Chains A and B, each alone.
Chain A
Amino acid sequence: MENGNDYSHQKWNFRGNEELNTASISVRGVLNTLAKNLNSDDPRPTIMLGRGDPTEFAAFRTAPPAADAVSDALQSFKFNSYCPTGGVLEARRAIAEHLSRNLSVQLLPEDVYLTVGCTQAIEIIVSVLARPGANILLPKPGYPQYEARASFDHLEVRHFDLIPEKGWEVDLDSVEALADNNTAAIVVINPSNPCGNVFTYQHLEKIAETAKKLGIFVISDEVYGGLAFGSNPFVPMGKFSSIVPVLTLGSISKTWIVPGWRLGWIVKSDPNGILEKTGIVDSIKNYLDITCDPATFVQGAIPQIIKRTKESFFSNIIGIMREAVDMLYDMINEIPCLTCPNKPEGSMVVLVKLDLSALEGIDDDVQFCLELSKEESVIVLPGVTVGLKNWLRITFAVELEVLKEGLQRIKAFSQRHAKKQLEYQRQYPQRLSRSETNLRRRIMSECFLPGLQE
């Protein structure tokens, strides 16, 4: 890089936006910052339990027909072009049929809008709702991508609680108290990220009825819809579309274990045509016209991906998750400073409560995670990132051996930091080092979005 030429007095008209620099997406940012605290001298492999992405494990390899379908679509020479707005028709039809199996009303291809992963689905919905003065209701704890996009588009968010004592059900009273005439919609994540619960039919019906009473529609994030493995079956929110309009968000990322393929959707379940009448559908279509699309050949592969993937692939994944959850639940319960109040029934993550009173010299979840990263080369997500301070979000979508090792290291860490008698010699210093303090400050200030801190 050249320096010291005659640019010293040159004035440049452009600069960055300070706000944007600090309000980056929380989960990615926090995990990167925790990784900076890893001890490079630790010969053991790092165990990543902070994010639901099991693609590195052979046990979670996607179904072979899926890769075949993508190759076939590519080599067919039919899908190298730009795609039509909303997506390739065969893909829209295939998804409509696939999702309709669990609904009482048949979806049409026109009800399906393809997106670049569920990430872009969220981007589109938030943009569509971001009128001046409008607000949406988000769950706390939740998935910070919603807050990130809302902040970006200047859409006000209000947080309703999920109640841990009630299996993380929605606090419907808090929902009613929060909503006003400018509230447009409520976001429900089912199966839940970060909590790991699956809502019952009855509870979903109550949510629908509450939404109707408030004059708002439901955005149902069902990206983990294919991953319910407990006793509670997964029920799509679209089942209640005669009560309230529903926009369902989903993707192939979690069900087929291919988050890198970037294929998601927004699906409209609205037999009464309310979303049409209120202009929401037009806004979605207009936004789709002016934004980027998923790769055309991945769209083209969708019908075959759905058709040719055997049921055994899904049941195998569910089986692994069930085992992992059992192991996690048992091992967490052996660790005095951690409790898992609700055994997960779905998704890839669970919230675990931290009992700081059982620990010495650890003040909060962020410090726990920073030190765990350094001492044990294990990364978990501090709950404050998702809206619940002093909890931890842990993924169980991990090969069983790796999960076991990770949990054992967490146990060792907890024992080492347990409140003990004064004579006990501890190996590691109590306080955060200066660099750790900086990392902690960074996590607290740069990686949180306003409204997520308690």
Chain B
Amino acid sequence: MKNKWNFQGNGELKTAPGITIRGVLSNIMQNLNKDDQRPIIPLGHGDPSAFPCFRTSLSAEDAIVDSVRSGKFNCYSPAVGILPARRAVADYLSKDLPYKLSPDDVYLTIGCTQAIEVLLTAISLSNPVANILLPRPGFPFYDVRAACSNLEVRRYDLLPEQGWEVDLEALEALADENTVAMVIINPGNPCGNVYTSQHMKKIAETARKLGIIVIADEVYDHLTFASTPFVPMGTFGSIAPVLTLGSISKRWIVPGWRLGWIVTCDSNGILQQTGIMKSITGCLEVSSDAPTFIQAAIPQIIENTKEDFFLKIVEILRGAADICFDKLNEIPFITCPSKPEGSMFVMVKLNLSLLDDISDDVEFSLKLATEESVIVLPGVTVGLKNWLRITFACDHSSLEDGLGRIKGFCERHAKKE
């Protein structure tokens, strides 16, 4: 049949869905058994906003209501964001840094999602043969966006036996003269680790040696509940230039509000000098912006949210991490190399040799969905085949229920003697 229409879809975009977390979870959810009366236990995603115990601070909600009702912020926003919001974010982040950020260091984005989109696009445009270094396991959205921009990706390993620290030697071996940046995610998604100050300094020194930017994805900032405190990478911004990515999505439990940022933590002004910030601004200029009224609420959101809201959330996560670690240790078919210290996730290894008819992590996840109505993320999605990423950001009773069902599932599929 002659195709008389001159247009067709963009072939490169056709391959995208399989490798996003959203896409994988959606496939797994199609395997749910509709006849199962029990509630579905969602341990695959990073979004606890539907649970009442995780409801955001009412002060934050009030700030948005005030902003929209004022009628003063229905206008277009400048590409980099409105000044009061940029100032508020600069002051907020400066509290944890040894120097003060300026509002000009802050670029507001539509969530951390757009921050990643813009950053990777700007890098790819700077050098047609540029490459970036991504952690494995990592957050697959970086890979997806890099592919979109034809930006080469090289993966360095995180070491499970060392609390998921960066394998710095391997990282150095990967870099060459076209390597522009390395991404670190701290607190860690998917591993749940929190880096020490010493380790982060070493990372910065390695970056300086290689002449590259550190892209510090700190979207889970301050969500730490063990002994290692959260230290922002910007602390070492005088050693190597740091681009910090963040948002209100995780700390305030509002991923649907879509407000994030790219912040330059670069006391030597290298990012400005090399022109890459102009490229980032250029990308922002031709893209859409975060809603102006949400930006306008940011100063109030930050100022009025009381410390006990944050403490409450961290407490729930701490308790959940404890439950998760303890219960997983009762399951011989699963190994949890380190107790999660931050973020909302933990990576666990499957002992497939102890399981009968399960060949890999994907099959495990699909069958678990069908038989037990529990959703987990197969590790291949984040770069580690035959591992699982489990979310513990859930109310405690659902979490216990879900982990109990996983145990039951494993026992049912155990290899017989």
Contacts and interface: CB of A to CB of B under 8 A. Distances in A.
B361 interface: no
A281 B13 CA distance: 11
Nearest to B71: A61
Given A17-B279, A286-B16, A295 B285 contact: no
Given A81-B256, A286-B17, A53 B68 contact: no
A291 B6 contact: no
Given A3-B268, A293-B258, A260 B291 contact: yes
Interface stretch (B74-82, B86-94, B365-373): B74-82
Contacts of A181: 6
Nearest to B255: A82
B177 interface: yes
A307 B257 CA distance: 23
A71 B268 CA distance: 43
Category for how many chain B residues contact A: 35 or more
B7 A56 contact: no
B144 interface: yes
Nearest to B65: A71
A61 B130 CA distance: 48
Contacts of A182: 6
Contacts of A262: 110, 288-292
Nearest to A276: B9
Contact of B5 (A85, A117, A258, A278): A278
B288 A295 contact: no
Contacts of B3: 278
B14 A260 contact: no
B395 to A, nearest CB: 14
A282 interface: yes
Contact of A116 (B9, B16, B17, B110): B110
B292 to A, nearest CB: 3
A15 B256 contact: no
B210 interface: yes
B7 A184 contact: yes
A105 interface: no
A260 B292 contact: yes
Given A5-B268, A149-B286, A280-B7, A17 B122 contact: yes
A75 interface: yes
Contacts of A12: 211-212, 241, 270, 274
A10 B211 contact: yes
A20 interface: yes
Given A62-B74, A82-B47, A257-B74, A75 B65 contact: yes
Interface in A97-146: 115-117, 119-120, 123, 127-131, 134, 145
B61 A295 contact: no
Nearest to B256: A296
Nearest to A116: B288
Contact of B9 (A75, A79, A128, A214): A128
B97 interface: no
B6 A283 contact: no
B394 to A, nearest CB: 14
Interface string A304-319: 0000000000000000
A297 B257 contact: yes
Contacts of B141: 290
A310 to B, nearest CB: 17
Contacts of B178: 13
Contacts of A13: 177-180, 210-212
A285 B13 CA distance: 9
B215 to A, nearest CB: 11
B127 interface: yes
A28 B287 CA distance: 12
B56 A80 contact: yes
A294 B291 CA distance: 8
B416 interface: no
Contact of A29 (B75, B126, B274, B285): B285
A23 B282 contact: yes
A49 interface: no
Interface in B289-303: 289-294
Given A80-B49, A128-B13, A290-B20, A261 B274 contact: no
B55 A71 contact: no
A130 B10 contact: yes
A25 interface: yes
Nearest to B73: A260
A282 B71 contact: no
A67 B65 CA distance: 8
Contact of B23 (A5, A70, A215, A289): A289
Contacts of A283: 9-10, 13-14
B254 A25 contact: no
B11 interface: yes
A316 to B, nearest CB: 15
B103 to A, nearest CB: 15
A56 B11 CA distance: 44
Interface of A: 1-3, 5, 7, 10-21, 23-25, 28-29, 51, 53, 55-56, 61-62, 67, 70-71, 74-75, 77, 79-83, 85, 115-117, 119-120, 123, 127-131, 134, 145, 148-149, 152, 181-185, 214-217, 257-262, 274, 278-287, 289-298
Given A10-B208, A24-B282, A62-B71, 16 more contacts: A13-B177, A14-B212, A16-B274, A16-B275, A16-B278, A16-B279, A16-B282, A19-B125, A24-B286, A28-B285, A70-B68, A71-B64, A148-B285, A184-B6, A283-B13, A297-B257
20 contacts: A1-B268, A3-B268, A10-B211, A12-B270, A13-B180, A17-B282, A23-B282, A25-B79, A61-B71, A62-B74, A117-B288, A117-B289, A120-B288, A127-B10, A127-B13, A260-B293, A278-B3, A286-B14, A290-B20, A295-B291
